[in-house]
Chains A and B, each alone.
Chain A
Amino acid sequence: MTVKKITKADFTDLIEKVIASQKVYAPQAKGDKYDFAPLTSAGDMKLDYDVTLQPPKKYFIPPVETLLTFEVGGGYQSQFDEEKFVLLGVHPYDMVAINQIDKLFSDGHFDNHYMNRRTNATIIALDVVNASKNVFASEIGTATVKQGYDLLLTDIGDAYIAEAATEKGAALLAGANAADATDDDLAKKQKVQSDNELSLSKHLLKCPASDLPKLLEKAYDHPVWEEQAETCFACGSCNQVCPTCYCFNVQDDVNWDMKTGERKRAWDGCMLDGFTKCAPDHEFRKNRADRFRHRLFRKGKYVPYKLGGEIACVGCGRCVGACLPDIANPVNVYNRLFDDLGNG
C-alpha cells in the first residue's frame, strides 16, 4: 500500500491530466449546494463540500439505463457501458453505501450491468472536510471507511494524504508529483479521521446502531409509523436521495420504427404508491404508513439481515433535508422506538 503526501496544487494538476484521458465525476457547486457532475476543469472540483444533493450511486445505477435492445418478435441483445471513469471525492458514508450495494448486486444472481460499471470505475474516496448540517455518520460507524476505494484522500490543511489501496489507485497516484508521507503526515491524517469519527453526529442515536435490528423486532405494530406517515406525501424523495436505496422498475420503450426498442431499468421507490401493485388492482402495501415502516425496516432490519448485521442507513442525512414534511429522519424514529421499547 502506497501512502503519499501531495500538495493541493499538485493534486489539481494530477486531476487536470486525468481529465485529458478519462471521464471524471466530482463534487461541484450547484447553486449554494453541491452535486456530483462531470468535471471539465480540475479547478471546478469542490473537495471541501459538506454533502452532495444526490449520492454517487447514479454512476453505477443510472436513473435510467438500457439493459437490452430488442427486435419486436425477435431476439434480445445485452447492452453494457464500456467507458472507464474516475469517481472523485466520495465521502466515507457514500463509499460504505457503494460497498453494500456491491454485495447485494453480486451475491446470488450476479448483476453484471452494475458490476461492469463498478469495475470500470476508479474511486477516489475523500475524508469529510466540512460536516453537513444533518450528517450522523459517526452514529452509524460510517464516518471513515477502510475499503472499497482505489485511493483515499485526507485533507490535512495544506496538502492531501493519498493512500492507494489498489493497483488502479497506485497507478493513478504514480502520475502525481508527490512525496512519501512522513510519520507526522500520517499522524495528521489519523487526527482528521478520529475527529470525524466523533464529530459527524448532528443527530444523536440513543442506542448503538448495531442494536437497531433487535429494536425493530419489537416495533412492527408501534404507533410511530401511522403518526409519522400522517403528513407523508409518499413522494419518494427519501428513496431518491438515499445512497443505499436501489429498487428499480423495468420497462420496454419501442423506437420510432416500431420494430426495435430498448428494455430500460429506472429508479423506483418503495414509498411510492403502486410500488407493489399487481394487475388488475391488487396492491400489497397500499397503506402509506406500511410503506413508511417498510423503508425504515429495510434500513434497520431487512437489509442488515442480508449483510451480516450491517445497517443499511449510512448516516448521510440527505433524507432529512429532502423531506418536505420533515418526517424522514431515521434517527428521530429509531430514538422514539428506543424511548418506548428500548428497555423492554
Chain B
Amino acid sequence: MCECCTTKKDIYLPQLATIEKMRLMNDTEMYFRFNMDDGPMDFIPGQFVEVSVAGVGEAPFTISSSPTQKDGIEMVVRRIGNVSKALHNLKTGDKIGIRGPLGEGVYPVEEVKGKDIVFICGGIGLVPQRSFINYVLDNRDDYGHVTILLGTKCHNQRFFQSELEQWTTRDDIHFLETIDEAHDCWNGNVGVVTTLLPKIESELASSEIMVCGPPIMYKFVLMALAEDNVPHDQIYLNLERKMKCGVGKCGHCQINNYYACVDGPVFKYSDLGIAPEAI
C-alpha cells in the first residue's frame, strides 16, 4: 500500500467491543452496555457509533450514556431492521464491531454552560438526549434551570423507568411527562409532547432547547417554539438519518447541503439555514 495510506487508519474498520449487559426494556427496546476491547472510548454527548454484527451489517446508534459514566458505553436498540434484530439476538459476552465515535455536530456541552436548558424528547428520542441529560446532571452546578419533557406513545413503551422516577423526585430539575394514549396505569398528561409546552411557556424564550424524536415531531415542535418566539440559535435538533458510512462519503444521510453524519447529527437550527429536508 502507498505511504500516505499506511499512515492513516482505515475509516471503515470496526474495533471489537464486548457486550457487558443486555436488558429488554419493553417489547421492542433492548438496552446494551459494552466496553471497547482496546480501552475506553472518549466521546461527546450527541455522537454516535456504527455498530457491526459481522455477517449482517452495520447500523448507526447514538450513544445513550454520558461520558461522565466510566463503566462502559450504553445504547438502546429498537428491534426494527436487520442489524437491530441481529443485535437483539446476541448475548452478554458476545463481540460486536464499533466504529466511532462519529459526528462532529454534537450537543453544545460547553456553549450552554450557565444557561437554562429544555430537553424535548419524543419516544426513542430520549435515548440520544439522555447522554446530554445525564452529563448535565453529573455537572449540575455548571448549568442553569433544567427542564425535561418526555412524550411516549403508550404506557407499555416507557423505558429507563427507574431513572425517570429519580428525575420526578429530584428538586433540581423539572421533569414533565405525557403519554399519547390514555392508560389505566397513567394519571398524568395525555397527548403528544407539544401539549407539555404551554406548561413551561414562560421559560422557553430564555432557554436552550434540545429536540430529539421521531421525524414527524420536529415540525410540530418548531411550530410551537415559533409561537413563543424562541430564537433559532437557541434550538438544537438531533436529526437521525440512514447512515451507511458515517464519515460523509456514501450520501445516504444528506439533508440538502448537509451530511447528518459529519455535520450533525445535532444541528443548531439557525445554522441549518434553508434546509427543508431537515424537517
Interface residues of A, Cβ cutoff 8 Å to B: 67-68, 70-76, 78, 80, 82, 104-105, 108-113, 115-116, 119-120, 220, 246-252, 254, 261, 263, 265, 268, 270, 275-280, 282, 284-285, 290, 294, 297-298, 301-302, 305
Contacts and interface: CB of A to CB of B under 8 A. Distances in A.
Nearest to A82: B1
Interface in B49-81: 52, 54-58, 80-81
Given A75-B16, A246-B249, A302-B256, A276 B242 contact: yes
* A contact patch SS: mixed
Contacts of B55: 70, 72, 252, 254, 261
Given A73-B95, A74-B95, A251 B57 contact: yes
Contacts of A250: 12, 57-58, 244-245, 250
Nearest to B5: A112
Contacts of B4: 112, 115, 119
A112 B52 CA distance: 20
Contacts of B157: none
B270 interface: no
B199 interface: no
Interface string B1-25: 1101100101111101000000000
Given A72-B55, A113-B10, A279 B250 contact: no
Contacts of B11: 109-112
Interface residues of B, number: 45
Contacts of B251: 246-248, 268, 270, 275
B252 A275 contact: yes
5 contacts: A78-B12, A119-B2, A252-B56, A284-B241, A297-B256
Contacts of B242: 276-278, 284
B252 A279 contact: no
A73 B94 contact: yes
B277 A73 contact: no
Nearest to B6: A112
Contacts of A279: 80-82, 84
B250 A76 contact: no
B54 A301 contact: no
Given A71-B54, A109-B11, A284-B241, 20 more contacts: A73-B94, A76-B16, A76-B97, A82-B1, A108-B248, A109-B247, A110-B11, A111-B249, A113-B12, A115-B5, A116-B2, A248-B244, A248-B245, A250-B244, A254-B55, A263-B12, A265-B250, A268-B251, A268-B252, A270-B254
Interface of B: 1-2, 4-5, 8, 10-14, 16, 52, 54-58, 80-82, 84, 94-95, 97, 215, 240-242, 244-245, 247-257, 262, 274, 276-277
A294 B255 CA distance: 10
Main secondary structure of the interface of B (DSSP, over half): loop
A248 B250 contact: yes
Contact of B252 (A115, A254, A276): A276
Contacts of A73: 54, 94-95
Q: Which of B1, B54, B57, B252 has the most CB of A within 10 A?
A: B54
A305 B94 CA distance: 43
B209 to A, nearest CB: 23
Contact of B5 (A71, A75, A119, A302): A119
Nearest to B50: A250
Given A82-B1, A105-B249, A302-B257, A276 B241 contact: yes
A270 B259 CA distance: 14
Contacts of A71: 54
A68 B56 contact: no
B54 A74 contact: yes
A248 to B, nearest CB: 5
Nearest to B258: A302
A247 B257 contact: no
Nearest to A274: B242
Contacts of B58: 250, 252, 263
Contacts of B95: 73-74
A109 B262 contact: yes
Given A246-B249, A263-B12, A252 B1 contact: no
B254 A110 contact: no
A26 to B, nearest CB: 23
Contacts of B252: 247, 249, 268, 275-276
B257 A67 contact: no
Nearest to A245: B251
Contacts of B245: 248, 250
Contacts of A302: 254, 256-257
A70 B274 contact: no
A250 B240 CA distance: 18
Given A113-B12, A276-B241, A276-B252, A70 B1 contact: no
